[in-house]
Homo-oligomer: A and B are copies of this chain.
Amino acid sequence: MKTHRIAVVAGDGIGLEVMPEGLRALEAAASRFGIGLQFDHFDFACWPYYERHGQMLPDDWKEQIGSHDAIYFGAVGWPEKIPDHISLWGSLLRFRREFDQYVNLRPARLLPGMSAPLRRRDGTPYAPGEIDMWIVRENTEGEYSSVGGRMFEGSEREIVLQETVMSRHGVDRVLRFAFELAQSRPKQHLTSATKSNGIAITMPYWDERVAAMARQYPGVHVDQFHIDILCAHFVQRPDCFDVVVASNLFGDILSDLGPACTGTIGVAPSANLNPERRHPSLFEPVHGSAPDIAGRGIANPIGQIWCGAMMLDFLGHRKAHDALLQAIETVLASGGDAPRTPDLGGRASTADLGRAIAEVV
């Protein structure tokens, strides 16, 4: 039995609280399916580490975690102590970029037992599974660039510039991933997020590459919408999407909006993938460190568990993934005294909910 070496980075805030439940669920799945998992814990990428060392990561972080099979991540950020753009650009965004995790993959799926805020035009709710899409977000370039600067600082003439950078290499590889994913799904439907009517240099280029790639996947039905109207469609007809591919910024927006539409923003997972496996991929819940509820043991661990499932899938264990997801759905769907954390309308603790899920894996 091959043992997968997992680098565990819990991070800050509720990251520390949901991580043990993620590990508990992973261990349950590993033992049921005979999967070897070795967890190595790292204490960087958090405020206490920054406080001691003046930086988010050790100089040799790549040696420390670069040969692991995956990074299992909690949450980073503690804005009261350290501005987000320092903690994030000093850790999470470095992982994404320096480990070339160029795909950020995020599901938006209506789960049973969640109170979703959306209704159809006729007022009826959507059924679990009816909303079921994958957002494929470019994760290394685009609008998240570090090129730019400020001129005439402090004066009335002050001006600030920032480049958006798109490369053929960077755009084509994420499009290819998205087309492959769409092709593997029953609907074979890919939606591209654009804004070529307003962002008139980079976005027409994005459209061009989508059109070129589409010729290689004649079986995939492709459409495209400007990001403004696409956001509106997410609210008005979320059941019409399958795979949605987007630039870094647009993907960021859609992958919060999609889960919000399904009521799952607090439990959504995300996978930062290096599909070629030259570097470790990173699995993290979409939620952040949530300073407002941190330390109280009431955070919902489902996001952490769900991204553990995605990690197992990526490591080749589809059945274990499905079993974990099924366990989440079973607990969410069971009424009565199933433990629910406060965000789900209950009074259970993080550990109560985590244990309940691990038990039914």
Q: Are B256 and A232 in contact (CB under 8 A)?
A: yes
Residues of chain B within 8 A of A77, CB atoms compared: 197
- 0 or 1 for each of A95-109: is its CB under 8 Å from B? (1 = yes): 000000000000000
A35 at the interface (CB under 8 A from B): no
Q: Are B169 and A165 in contact (CB under 8 A)?
A: no
Please state the number of chain copies in the assembly.
Answer: 2
Q: Are A159 and B165 in contact (CB under 8 A)?
A: yes
- 0 or 1 for each of A28-63: is its CB under 8 Å from B? (1 = yes): 000000000000000000000000000000000000
Q: Are B159 and A167 in contact (CB under 8 A)?
A: yes
Could you tell me which A residues sit within 8 Å of B by CB distance?
Answer: 77, 84-85, 88-89, 93, 115, 117-123, 143-144, 146, 148-150, 155-169, 195-202, 204-205, 227-229, 231-233, 235-236, 248-249, 252-253, 255-257, 259-261, 265, 345
Residues of chain B within 8 A of A205, CB atoms compared: 150, 160
Write the chain B residue with the least CB distance to A255: B228
**Known interface pairs A115-B123, A231-B260, A257-B257; 5 further A-B residue pairs with C-beta atoms within 8 A, sorted by A's residue number:** A117-B118, A144-B200, A146-B200, A160-B201, A198-B249
A163 partner, pick from B89, B163, B167, B195, beta carbons under 8 A: B163
Write the chain B residue with the least CB distance to A149: B201
Interface of A is mostly: mixed
A232 partner, pick from B168, B197, B236, B257, beta carbons under 8 A: B257
Q: Are A253 and B227 in contact (CB under 8 A)?
A: yes
A148-B202, A165-B159 known; A236+B260 contact, CB < 8 A: yes
Q: Are B167 and A164 in contact (CB under 8 A)?
A: no
**Complex formed: what's the CA distance from A301 to B227 in Å?**
24
Q: Are B201 and A161 in contact (CB under 8 A)?
A: yes
Q: Are B160 and A202 in contact (CB under 8 A)?
A: yes
Some 7 contacts from A to B, beta carbons below 8 A apart, are A85-B198, A93-B198, A117-B120, A144-B199, A146-B200, A150-B205, A232-B260
A229 partner, pick from B120, B160, B256, beta carbons under 8 A: B256
A159-B167, A162-B164, A227-B253 known; A204+B117 contact, CB < 8 A: no
Residues of chain B within 8 A of A256, CB atoms compared: 228-229, 231-232
Q: Are A162 and B201 in contact (CB under 8 A)?
A: yes
Residues of chain B within 8 A of A162, CB atoms compared: 163-164, 199-202
**Complex formed: what's the CA distance from A168 to B160 in Å?**
8
A121-B115, A236-B260 known; A200+B89 contact, CB < 8 A: yes
Residues of chain B within 8 A of A168, CB atoms compared: 155-159
Write the chain B residue with the least CB distance to A93: B198
Instruction: Tell me the smallest distance from the CB of A91 to a CB of chain B, in Å.
Output: 12
Most chain B beta-carbon neighbours within 10 Å: one of A144, A157, A166, A168:
A168
Residues of chain B within 8 A of A345, CB atoms compared: 121
**Complex formed: what's the CA distance from A84 to B224 in Å?**
13
A158 partner, pick from B117, B155, B167, B260, beta carbons under 8 A: B167
Write the chain B residue with the least CB distance to A85: B200
A117-B120, A119-B119 known; A88+B232 contact, CB < 8 A: no
Q: Are B143 and A199 in contact (CB under 8 A)?
A: yes
**Complex formed: what's the CA distance from A119 to B161 in Å?**
40
